[in-house]
Amino acid sequence: MRRTVTLSALAALLAATAAGSALAAGSAAPAAADRPHPRGTPLDKVPERGVLRVCTTGDYRPFTHRDPKTGEYSGIDIKMAADLAKSLDATPRYIATTWADLVGDLAAGRCDVGMGGVSVTLARARTVSFSEPYLTDGKTPIVRCPDERKYTTLEEIDRPGVRVVVNPGGTNEQFARAHVKKATLTVHPDNTTIFDEIIEGRADVMMTDASETRYQSKVHPELCAVHPDKPFSFSEKAYALPRGDAQFKEYVDQWVHLATHDGTYRKYEDEVMK
């Protein structure tokens, strides 16, 4: 009888201990993914301040262009920035940057998002996050139209006597330095006038994103995009975001997904490219 009572008491003690443990676990702090997001990140700050701070270079048509006379910005991604800001009950404020400084400016908190034809790279992804891509792209040549058949391969471009021009600080320069060993490579500091170097005969080739070659060949009839449908490389364009802010990235991802499927992006693209 005494053994039976002792075992029953032990069972009751174990049951009580298990119940207490379950209660304690239930009252413990929620997992990180379930915790409320602290106020103070762009998803909260942008609506509160009524301003979306957009870092952009202003020198990469058709995505971003800053008029040197008026200071006004235009381009596909400028229109997209206004759309993103509106969705957050805000207006866009454009912050001038360069290709060499864009990632650092975003990481330092100077802006909430980087926009303007930004290519996704692993080097950039070590410092910032990227939204869902909105465009597939790649490097391809742009030349004077009489030379369209002359520079169709990297081997034809990378020859002694060929003059390759590139803008500094971004993926164009990285690509050119990786593939141009025999040709003459010149870094032109102003991406808004770089195509004049080819038109005026001071350079023969520039290798840039196919989207840019299509646009520049449209506004400069003297220039031809060389096989833009079959570029030398693969890349994607997306919007650069603060690293570690999962909630803001999720919001921008959803916005990009909707904009690229409901006709918003295509509408802005058609308005700029017409």
At a CB cut-off of 8 Å and minimum separation 6, what does 189 contact? 167, 168
Residue 6 is predicted with a pLDDT of 39
Phi-psi region of 159 (alpha: psi -120 to 50; beta: other; left: phi over 0): beta
Kindly tell me the burial class for residue 88, based on how many C-beta atoms sit within 10 Å of its own C-beta (0-12, 13-18, 19 or more). Answer: buried
Mean pLDDT computed over every residue of the chain = 89
- Check pLDDT > 70 for residue 18: no
Q: Does 42-136+236-273 match 139-233 in CATH topology? A: yes
| pLDDT recorded at residue 260 | 98
- Computed on alpha carbons and rounded to an integer, the radius of gyration of the chain in Å comes to 27
For 75-117, give the secondary structure using H, E and C: CHHHHHHHHHHHHCCCEEEEEECCCCCHHHHHHCCCCCEECCC
Q: What is the pLDDT of residues 145-188, one digit of tens each?
A: 999 999 999 999 999 999 999 999 999 999 999 999 999 999 99
Cβ(210)–Cβ(226) below 8 Å: no
| pLDDT tens digits for range 209-232 | 999 999 999 999 999 999 999 999
Give the fold, CATH level 3, of 139-233. D-Maltodextrin-Binding Protein; domain 2 (3.40.190)
pLDDT at 40: 66
Phi then psi for residue 235, to 5 deg, are -155, 165
pLDDT one-digit tens code per residue, 90-128: 999 999 999 999 999 999 999 999 999 999 999 999 999
- Would you say the pTM of this structure is higher than 0.75? yes
Domain boundaries, the chain: 42-136+236-273, 139-233
Among 1-5, 50-54, 130-134, 201-205, which is the least confidently predicted range?
1-5
Which of 148, 170, 151, 146 lies closest to 162, judged by CA? 151
pLDDT score, position 42: 87
- Fold classified for 42-136+236-273: D-Maltodextrin-Binding Protein; domain 2 (3.40.190)
- pLDDT-derived band at 41 (thresholds 50, 70, 90) equals confident
> Could you tell me the CA-to-CA distances from 227 to 106, 196, 197 in Å, in that order?
34, 21, 21
